[in-house]
Every structure is written in structure tokens, then in C-alpha cells.
Structure 1
Amino acid sequence: MLKRHGRYDHHPWRGRPAYSWPGGARLAVYLGVNLEDFAFGEGLGAELAPGGPAPDVLNFAWRDYGNRVGAWRLVETLDELGLAATVLANSAMYDLAPSLIAAHRARGDEMAGHGRTNSERQSTLPPEAEAALIAEATARMAADDGIAPRGWLSPWIAESHATPDLLAAAGYRYTLNWCSDDAPIWHRTAHGPLLAIPYPQEVNDIPAIAVRRDGAEQFARMIVDDFDERLRQTRDGLPQVMGIALHPYIIGQPYRMRALRRALAHVAGHREEVWLCTAGQVFDHVAGLAPGLVPGA
């Protein structure tokens, strides 16, 4: 017998009941902006080039560029196009770059939990230590934002067997860790249902650019093609959620921003036909639907 996770059952795409997003839209689109802090000379971190001996200044400085420069370019582009974002923030960013956090808060962006730092994985911790990590990150964000985050994306998408239970126990209502569907599904936890909202591992600049080494134009084309194909599918089909995952140290480089702006302008140009939203708004809508429309739990 194969080991199973027990969080949800198999729900085939064909045959599911249809429902709509606000305004009758069938396609919801949100931007996941990752704001991440990394330790100097230790811990985990994405690499531009193969890392050398610690402190590996090349890769640390490349990542820090995103928090100093790239993230601000992204804020300007979102302002220009009138797009909101779900900000996936390491709680360490609240001390490292408070003005950047404040800028997103002033825009009305949703702040979602993303651990303490991307220098660590929570999946390697015992349950007590993992619960403490979640509590520490949540409390730090709530202290500045005045409200606790409702959504969580683990650093490195790393989960232990207990993570969904710990998130639900800590008051989280949705997770972005599971990329197993094109629509939200309810997960079972020891503390009640937790909504899994699709977070992309394809339309995501880390696997696309940092791993597969796609160019800026190729990534922008990916966004446009993914959007256009989903729009085609949903016009007479089931509702979908399209996430676009962005990391300022990657996408915030000038030539990549230029290509991204064109792609996001294409998406924004269809705002009368799709629902441009945040992940939290997706949760709110799903939570208000009649039981049975959304699979799971």
C-alpha cells in the first residue's frame, strides 16, 4: 500500500461543478511578490552562479539587490498598471526593509506569511520548533500590520508532515504550498479545513529563470501564453486561479522588468473579463460559496 498524505482525495478535473468569481469571471489572477531576507555567509539561498566559499559575496549581493532596488522597480510597475499583489514576506524583512513593507501596505497589498527567512527550511524542524517559527513570524507581521496574515507560503515550499495542522492551529486560513490543482481545494487538518490556493511552479521566475535559465522574453511569453490559454479554457469551462510568482532579485533587473511590464500590461488589458485579485480575496470568495462547489474537506 502506497503511503498517502490524507489531506485531500482525488478530484478529477472533468465533472466538477462550475462556479464563478466576482463579476461572473471564470479566471482569477493574482501576483505573488516574494520579499525574502537571507543570512550573510550561512544558510540557504538561490544562486546566480555556483557558490564559492562563505561568505559568497556574489550570490548574497545578487539577492540583496532585489530588496534594495528591484523591489522598488516592481512597486512602480504595479502602480503604473493598477495591479494589487499578495506580498509573501519573510518576517525578517520587517526589520531589514521597513520602508519597502510600508510601501506595499500603503498600496493596499495583502501581506501573507513566508516564514522568518529563506535561509532556513521549516520542514527540518521538530513540531514544537516549527510551531514556534510560525508563531514568531506571524507575531512580527501582526505587530506592524495591525492584523495577522491569513495565508502562508513556506520558505522553499518546505513542509513537514505537521505543517498544515500547525498552520490551521495558528489561525491560517489558506496555504500556497500545494501546486496540485488549477483551482482552490480544501485540505483536511487536525484543526479544521485549510484552503489550498494554486501557487505556480511554472509561471514563477525562480524555476523559469534561475533554474531553467529562460530569458526575460521567454518568461514574459510564458505569462502571456499561460494567461491566454487559461482565458480560452475558462470562457466555457471550470473556474481557474492563475498565480504569477515574482522575486525582485530576479525579475527586478531592468531588462527583465521591461519584458514583465509588457506581459502584465497584456493581462491588465483584460480586466473587464477576468478577476484581478489577491490570494486572500480568492479565499474570501471560496469561503462564501455553497458547500460542495469546491472539492475537499
Structure 2
Amino acid sequence: MAADAIENDLARRFRIDPPPTLLARKSSKARIGFSRLRSSRPMHGHSIATPPEEAFAFWVPLSVPFFSNLWTAGRRREVPELRLGDAQLVDLGDHPVVSLDIPFDAIRFYITQVALDEMANEAGIRRVKGLYASNFGARDLVMFGLAQALAGAMEQSCDETAMFSECIALAFFAHIVRAYGSVPIGGRNARGGLAAWQLQRARDLVNVNLAHDLSIAEIAHECGLSSGYFARAFKRSTGVPPCQWLSKMRIERAKELLKDPRCELAEIALLCGFVDQSHFTRVFSRSEGYSPGRWRRLHCL
């Protein structure tokens, strides 16, 4: 896709003038692009979602405030208010949509999964299976520096722009695979444990799915690992096997709910992923030395 086609598509989706765009890789599947999207006035409504694709976008604001609301996979997400120096990561396979109710000015970094694969192969490192940021991202002064450099380059038009954008793409790739894909030099984590993003991804998945029968295979898949490797790496990182850690998380959530006298024990059991109240009582008593009812009486007077 040519730069003008990308500019027109972004203009339609965000209801702005065609944004200046630099392309580092122009293949329709292995593409890296940088665009400056800005609007000086608030608008009603939301951006237009596009068909899902295996690609990722980073938003780096050049001024604040920034987009105040984000939806992915049809759900509104709680995200922190971005400051200058922050970066926000969204998976374009999740139909991301933002509200357009405030002015905005940001550099949009775009990279497809195929481009990640190609550049990983060229760099001699293992495949980067997706990018992840807890709570969609936070402080990232490297990305902010790249965004400022791109903003300056977009103000000019010269023969060296293509070479400049390719250099930025290399720096962009080298940074994101370690900060958001956590690919250490030489392959896997040197200690044999999980990378920081993988451990956080596993924790987040468990925390939002305690009421469901989430399998080790599902968590491992989200971390880009086999079940066996994930289980071994998780134990090296945390000191306990995944199943034991999951049980501990369910107990901790149960303690929070026990503090609410309106919650029945049977309800708490289901909300925390136990088969029934009897199962909940057995596991809780074995862990804490008291039944859930007695624990509630001792701690919630």
C-alpha cells in the first residue's frame, strides 16, 4: 500500500486531513509506517474500526491531553491518562476504537507481524510472537525520542527521507522486541524463566479469568510458548508451579470477597473458579488453616 493510500485511510478513520506518513517497509504484508495524526478541534463520536489484522500500533502523544477512551474487542478499557513521554500499544487484531472528543497530536508507529518476523530473521533472533504492554503501555522515553525525530523529518521533504525512515525503523524494531516482546540477545531468557512481559501477561490472564477454567495451554499460547516450556519457565520465575500459583490467586481473591458480608460462600466459590462451595472450603482450609466462614468471622468483625 502506497503512502497516499495509507494517509487517506487514516484520514477517513479519524476524520482529519491526510496525515504525513513515512514508510520504511512498503510490502503489503511486511510493512512499517509512521504517521502524524492531529486535530485541533474536538469531534463527536469515535474513530472507525478497520478489519482485524496481524499488526500493532503505538501511539506516542506530542501534546496532551490525548485520546481519553479506548475500546478493544468491543469492550471499553481502563487506561491511564497518557503524559508526554508515554507510549500506548494496541493490537490491531482487536478492532481498537478511540473517542475523538478532544484535540490530539501524536505519532502513530505501525508494524505488521510479518515485518516483525522478517526483521527478527534478519537480526538472527527468535521470532517475536506478538507485542504486549501491561495496561496498554506507560512511560517510554525511547519511543518519545523517536516520535520527536519523526515529527521533525515530516516537516521536510528531501531525498534522504527514505534512508532516515529505514534507520528509525531499525531503532524502533530493536527497542520494541525487548521492551514489548522481550527478546534477549541470543534467544530465550538467560535464566530459563519467563520474560517480564510473559510473566505479566500470564498474571493478567489469570486475574481476569479466575472464574473460568483457564488451562495452562491457553496461558502458554498467549505467551508464545509450549505448555511444557511455559510450566518450567513459570516455576523458575516464581518459585511455584502454575497450578499452585493459580490456586493462591483464587484464595487471595476469595479473601477480598469474604470481607463483603453480602457475598454468600457459594457465590464466592463460583466467582473464584472453584467447582462448588465444598471444593472452595477444602482448598481454603488447607491453605489458611480455617474454613472460609471462620476466616470471615476472625477477620471481618
Structure with higher Rg: it is 2
TM-score, normalisation: structure 2: 0.28
Work out which structure has the larger RCO, using CA pairs closer than 8 Å and 6 or more positions apart in sequence.
1
TM-score, normalisation: structure 1: 0.28
